């Protein structure tokens, strides 16, 4: 029996979700316009719906889709919040949708975060009345938070809750900390539509992407209804669909263990997944699994297709063992490009592999795709300014007046800046150079020449804000030119899509588009993870064992990224550990899991998927 209590549609990539949801909205807009009626949309903010909004803007510009008959109500707003603030959802909606389509301003409704507290109750009641006066919401877009909140309906929100002020959960505020450049800057309250308000929408589309949403997606659609997870209330809605990408779907039973709910056609990949799953469930190494283990855990159909349990165990073990590769079975004396979305993803995710690629005399290019400058705290800039002033005074004397002027301008800009405000160009450049110098130092710590470093500085990232532009032709061109110059046999690409603000996803998109246009021999593509999580054992095609020295050197290289140590601006998730601590734990955990499955006991290991 299918355990999902809400319809879930899985797409391979987020862009497919965005196009599908936008097409449904366009269908409603056009059909209502043809009937001379308005359509009422409930809108969300954050990274989740941006692709939908971009597709709607494209349809408006290229297909003539008009929004003159559209009325909108947004889910929420921080409180207190100036509507002109860079953090305001009012501003977000203007910049990402309203200012680029032809919807009348009078049709736009958002909760207010800039009213006196004494007026809040009247304001929220008026918001509810405005929704009723508009005829109710026809189509509601939702995201889902790690607590399972929809809108800002935090754990404890009741089924009958309406638009109201609410205190934000600690986890929600941690999620928002990157946008506000520190959890201490995140408002502790918000105004949000209630559960009952959302449930009255005639159609609901909830969008979730990334591995970090997988657990809460499963809880929302397979778990019991509970006020602790507001999204579970959607199980009672007659027309709700979850639209998720493959990463966000990976914990669903039908994906993780489909044999538990239906008959399956056993192929090599599914067999490997099932045997590894069984070994974990039973606590036995693969070669010690018995026929009773297979029968007890609903895998009798798999065993029935095999000559014997021993043949099945041996063949599966051999497949897994063949995926362990050390230097002799890794790329050797070949042109190789390692694409690093940020200036530290290379050493965090594949520092051990980088060292081995260098030992194998490959012609290495480490291509840093973005500057990563927004992830540098202002106090780091002040530290370097202090160094510059001391160096100027002691070494250069009074000969560099222009440098004095620049330092004064930067110090004044930092002093007057609000949290999250866009830096002046000089500060952005200084932060970029800080990260570039750290990247060079990082690869040198692994024994790699600084000449291997290339800084692409892709344009999509250069907004000075947390939210970035779409990948454009110039981004693709820069990547394509590097491919044409190097003509790599192998490229390494970040396959970790849990990046809090989507930079990894966008960088991969730029590489994929460039490869489509590349006229040379298509390189082998190795996908790495590591900053937020590692490939599962059944997913990985290659395991690279690391010695104690390999892991020590890798961590040493991570230490070179001083601006990201101790307190990284964008750590992601709710893992309080520094990146080097996560790497140490994850690489050791991969090796330990291989050991539990019966493979040799390595000190640590990195994992890769090969495409």
Determine whether domain 7-253 maps to CATH 3.40.50.2000: no
What torsion do the CA atoms of 520, 521, 524, 529 make, to the nearest 10 degrees? 10
> Are the C-beta atoms of residues 513 and 332 closer than 8 Å to each other?
no
Collapsed DSSP state (helix, strand, coil) of residue 333: coil
Collapsed DSSP state (helix, strand, coil) of residue 26: helix
pLDDT at 394: 64
Ranges of each domain in the chain: 7-253, 258-321, 327-610
Listed in sequence order, the DSSP H helices in 251-290 are: 253-256, 268-282
Q: How far apart are CA 600 and CA 602, in angstroms?
A: 6
pLDDT above 60: residue 82:
yes
String of DSSP letters for 429-492: HHHHHHHHHHHHHHHHHTT--GGGEEE---GGGTTSSSS-PPP-HHHHHHHHHHHHHH--SEEE
> Are the C-beta atoms of residues 606 and 583 closer than 8 Å to each other?
no
Count of CB atoms within 10 A of residue 3's CB? 13
Question: What is the reported pTM?
Answer: 0.87
pLDDT at 70: 98
Collapsed DSSP state (helix, strand, coil) of residue 155: coil
Average pLDDT for 118-128: 98
Closest CA to 270 of 316, 324, 307, 306: 316
pLDDT tens by residue, 176-200: 877 787 788 899 999 999 999 999 9
Average pLDDT value over all residues in the chain: 93
| pLDDT bracket for residue 568 (50, 70, 90) | low
List the end-to-end C-alpha distance of the chain, in Å, as a whole number: 34
pLDDT tens by residue, 492-508: 999 876 665 588 989 99
Specify the higher pLDDT residue, 577 or 271: 271
pLDDT at 497: 65
Q: Which two tokens stand for residue 195?
A: 């559960």
Closest CA to 247 of 541, 582, 532, 485: 532
Q: How far apart are CA 497 and CA 317, in angstroms?
A: 29
CATH topology identical between 7-253 and 327-610: yes
Q: How far apart are CA 286 and CA 277, in angstroms?
A: 10
Q: How far apart are CA 449 and CA 358, in angstroms?
A: 9
Q: Tell me the percentage of the chain whose pLDDT exceeds 70.
A: 96
String of DSSP letters for 227-253: TTBGGGGGGG-TTEEEEEETTTTTTSH
Contacts of 159 (CB under 8 A, 6+ apart): 195, 196, 199, 227, 233
Total residues found in the chain within this entry = 611
Count of CB atoms within 10 A of residue 212's CB? 21
pLDDT at 398: 56
Q: Which two tokens stand for residue 182?
A: 């520190």
- C-alpha distances (whole Å) from 365 to each of 270, 336, 356, 450 are 36, 6, 14, 10
pLDDT at 11: 95
Collapsed DSSP state (helix, strand, coil) of residue 73: strand
pLDDT at 393: 66
pLDDT above 60: residue 570:
no
Of 4, 13, 55, 154, the active-site residue reads: 154
- C-alpha distances (whole Å) from 278 to each of 215, 302, 306, 595 are 20, 12, 16, 15
Q: What are phi and psi of 102, to 5 degrees?
A: -105, 30
Q: Is 154 a catalytic residue?
A: yes
Position of tokens 């877009």?
Answer: 141
Collapsed DSSP state (helix, strand, coil) of residue 327: helix
Which residues face 243 on adjacent strands? 9, 207
| pLDDT bracket for residue 1 (50, 70, 90) | low
- CATH match for 327-610 among 3.40.50.10320, 3.40.50.2000, 3.40.710.10, 3.40.190.10: 3.40.50.10320
pLDDT at 397: 58
Which DSSP state fits 226?
A: B
| Cα atoms in the 13 Å half-sphere on the side-chain side of 435 | 28
């Amino acid at each position: 029996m299918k355990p999902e209590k809400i319809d879930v549609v899985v797409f391979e990539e987020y862009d497919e979700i965005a196009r599908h949801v936008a097409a449904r909205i366009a269908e409603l807009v056009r059909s209502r316009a043809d009937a001379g009626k308005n359509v009422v949309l409930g809108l969300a903010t954050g990274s989740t719906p941006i692709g939908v909004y971009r597709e709607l803007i494209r349809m408006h510009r290229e297909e003539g889709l008009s929004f003159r008959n559209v009325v909108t109500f947004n889910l929420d707003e921080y409180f207190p919040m100036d509507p002109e603030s860079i953090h305001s959802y009012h501003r977000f909606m203007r910049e990402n949708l309203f200012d680029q389509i032809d919807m009348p301003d009078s049709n736009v409704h958002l909760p207010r975060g800039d009213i006196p507290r004494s007026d809040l109750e009247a304001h929220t009641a008026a918001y509810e009345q405005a929704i009723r006066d508009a005829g109710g919401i026809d189509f509601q877009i939702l995201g889902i938070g790690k607590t399972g909140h929809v809108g800002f309906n935090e754990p404890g929100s009741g089924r009958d809750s309406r638009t109201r002020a609410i205190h934000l959960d600690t986890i929600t505020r941690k999620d928002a900390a990157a946008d506000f450049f520190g959890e201490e800057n995140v408002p502790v309250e918000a105004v949000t539509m209630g559960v009952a308000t959302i449930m009255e929408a005639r159609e609901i589309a909830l969008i979730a992407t990334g591995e970090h949403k997988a657990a809460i997606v499963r809880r929302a659609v397979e778990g019991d209804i509970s006020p602790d997870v507001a999204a579970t209330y959607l199980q009672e809605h007659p027309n709700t669909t979850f639209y998720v990408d493959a990463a966000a779907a990976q914990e669903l039973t039908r994906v993780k263990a489909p044999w538990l709910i239906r008959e399956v056609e056993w192929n090599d990949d599914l067999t490997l997944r099932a045997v590894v799953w069984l070994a974990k469930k039973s606590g036995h190494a693969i070669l010690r699994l018995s026929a009773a283990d297979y029968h007890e855990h609903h895998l009798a159909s798999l065993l029935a297709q095999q000559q014997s349990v021993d043949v099945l165990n041996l063949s599966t073990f051999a497949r897994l063992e063949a995926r362990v590769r050390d230097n002799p079975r890794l790329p050797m004396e070949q042109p190789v490009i390692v694409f690093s979305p940020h200036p530290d993803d290379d050493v965090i995710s594949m520092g051990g592999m980088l060292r081995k690629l260098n030992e194998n005399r490959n012609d290495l290019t480490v291509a840093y795709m973005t500057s990563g400058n927004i992830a540098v705290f202002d106090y780091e800039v002040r530290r370097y300014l202090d160094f510059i002033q001391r160096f100027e005074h002691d070494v250069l004397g009074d000969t560099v007046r222009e440098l004095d002027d620049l330092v004064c301008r930067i110090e004044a800009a930092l002093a007057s800046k609000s949290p999250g405000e866009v830096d002046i160009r000089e500060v952005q450049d200084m932060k970029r150079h800080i990260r570039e110098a750290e990247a060079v130092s990082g690869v040198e710590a692994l024994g790699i020449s600084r000449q291997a470093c290339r800084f692409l500085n892709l344009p999509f990232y250069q907004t000075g804000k947390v939210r970035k532009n779409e990948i454009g032709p110039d981004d693709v061109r820069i990547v394509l030119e590097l491919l044409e110059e190097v003509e790599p046999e192998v490229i390494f690409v970040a396959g970790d899509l849990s990046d809090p603000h989507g930079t990894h996803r966008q960088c991969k998109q730029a590489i994929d588009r460039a490869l489509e246009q590349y006229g040379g021999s298509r390189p082998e593509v190795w996908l790495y993870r590591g900053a937020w999580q590692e490939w599962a054992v059944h997913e990985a095609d290659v395991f690279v064992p690391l010695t104690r020295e390999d892991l020590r050197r890798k961590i040493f290289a991570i230490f070179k990224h001083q601006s990201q140590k101790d307190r990284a601006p964008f750590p992601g998730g709710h893992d309080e550990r520094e990146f080097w601590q996560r790497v140490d734990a994850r690489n050791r955990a991969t090796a330990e899991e291989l050991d539990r499955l019966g493979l040799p006991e390595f000190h640590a290991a990195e994992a890769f998927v090969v495409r």
